[in-house]
Chains A and B, each alone.
Chain A
Amino acid sequence: MSQYLLSTWSVEDEAPGEPPSPEQMQAFMQRVIDLEAEMDATGTFLFGGGLHGLDAATVVQATDDEALVTDGPFAESKENIAGFYVIEADDLDDALAWANKVSAAIRRPIEVRPFRATGRVKDQMPG
């Protein structure tokens, strides 16, 4: 088994469309709830969540004598990660099939990226 990050992106300054109606919102939630139930039933779901926007981001860098704190995200990029799942899958085809289901549920493209390693580093040391 391998672990993959399935992430979706939002684009800053993207013209906001019509806000969803309560019915649309309800349907959206139901699609996601059903999908996550399917992930749970197959042992696929490891973790997931949606993130606040970039305005809520803070960067910290350790220096010799103090924690340097700055407002804002790392990168000056329009695209930023909006939410993600961490899943367990047999191989890339399996992960892509799940990504397709997520994309169908939230109607957004999904980036699939394999983890090089997961968990605590001490557990990944040989021996």
Chain B
Amino acid sequence: MPADPDQTLIERVFREAYGQAVATLVRVFGDITLAEDAVQDAFVVATERWAGDEIPRNPAGWIVTTARNRAIDTARREARGRELYEELVATTTPNTAPEEALEEETVNDDQLRLIFTCCHPALRTEHQVALTLRLLGGLGVDEIARSFLVSEAAMAKRLVRAKYKIKAAKIPYSVPADADLPERLRSVLSVVYLIYNTGADDPDRASLRADAIRLARALAGLMPDEPEAVGLLALMLLSESRAAARTVDGSPVLLADQDRSRWDVELIQEGHQLVRRCIRRGRPGPYQLQAAIQAVHGAADTFEDTDWDQIVTIYDQLSVFLPTAVVVLNRAIAIGEREGPRAALEALDEVATDLDTYHLLHAARGTMLRRLGRYDEAKAAFERANRLASTDIAQASISTQIDELIAFGAR
């Protein structure tokens, strides 16, 4: 951890400014690598200037102006940069004050364009994620590498390959046409949600959750008329509101057993507000509905107080948008709370074949069988779940269930 508080502040400002500065410079230079190099150069200058001095009010604007001026100097010195130099001069008003150089609207447009470039469906998912975290999230290559459990060299190579494809195939730097927007937006939102979930699955990568929320906040701000963008932010905030209660001493705690006083009230309130705002638009979608389910949980003072009727109703709507077996599984669990374990087991039978290798199906069956007092069958279901579970955390939680059933006399 850096000892100098100024240094930490500057690093945070850099991270915030990185995405904005790169996005604008990609537009100016028409090249991602050039833009990144220029921003790095400007950061070096900034570190010297800002250390003993005030940080400017608009750091991203300062970075862009500095980066652009330095790029002009470099281009002027190099013969092969003459064309770029002429372009740069044409797009730069001399002596522009950094604060004026970046109109807010332009910055927003630039960022939106870059998001759609990074999450273009012609790029494979792992490349979309890496580009998004690097170019928009401002994360270092080493940080991204750690989060995705690969070496820094491998992550650097991944980024180089992704940027190569953008340039070679001429992936456009633009917001898609209206006709393509819904599909392309889905691709962007799924990248951000994947980043969040990667951070949710593993405590060592928890910082990815904050990165994903920061990206989702930016997206919701850039596309306030897209209810799914707002819905994704709400979904992540509501999920995040329970983070502190989700584990005790490193062991997972089920929703029913969580200490609700440890839920983050502010995040819940913000999430509720966002859910209301997007649902009002009357254009429901999978993220909004998942957020709405989380909002119902967040509104309940105790597990018993949960409005299961409402949750089942929202799952019914969700299954229209996401007709997946996992949605059926979650709906069955809600039915178990509303109508009892027998109804839940019946609902689970619907997806028993499709989800036969998914540990949560067998864990859900175990839970319902246990409630019916069918301890032997419950134990067998949890044992099956335990063999299929892939993470230590999941296995630990299932083992606890098995131990309890043995204590009840299950064989």
Contact = CB atoms under 8 A, between A and B. Distances in A.
- A90, A91, A92: residue with the most chain B Cβ atoms closer than 10 Å: A92
Contact of B168 (A93, A96, A114): A114
B44 interface: no
Interface residues of B, number: 10
Nearest to B172: A91
B153 interface: no
A114 B171 CA distance: 10
Interface string B149-190: 000000000000000000011111010100010000000000
Given A92-B122, A93-B176, A96-B122, A116 B171 contact: no
B122 A2 contact: no
A114 B168 CA distance: 7
Main secondary structure of the interface of B (DSSP, over half): loop
A96 B171 CA distance: 10
Nearest to A96: B122
A80 B117 CA distance: 31
Interface residues of A, number: 11
A99 B14 CA distance: 41
Interface string B112-124: 0000000010100
A114 B169 contact: yes
B173 to A, nearest CB: 9
B171 to A, nearest CB: 5
A91 B171 contact: yes
B245 to A, nearest CB: 45
Contact of A114 (B120, B170, B172, B176): B170
B176 A92 contact: no
Interface in A74-127: 90-93, 95-96, 112-114, 116
B1 to A, nearest CB: 43
Contacts of A95: 169
- A96, A112, A113: residue with the most chain B Cβ atoms closer than 10 Å: A96
Interface string A1-25: 0100000000000000000000000
Interface in A53-92: 90-92
Interface string B230-242: 0000000000000
Nearest to B122: A92
A116 B170 CA distance: 11
B165 to A, nearest CB: 9
B179 to A, nearest CB: 10
A91 B171 CA distance: 6
A116 B122 contact: no
Contacts of A91: 170-172
6 contacts: A90-B172, A91-B171, A93-B174, A93-B180, A95-B169, A114-B168
Interface of B: 120, 122, 168-172, 174, 176, 180
Given A91-B172, A92-B120, 19 more contacts: A2-B170, A91-B170, A92-B169, A92-B170, A92-B171, A92-B172, A93-B171, A93-B172, A93-B174, A93-B176, A93-B180, A95-B169, A96-B122, A112-B169, A113-B169, A114-B168, A114-B169, A114-B170, A116-B168
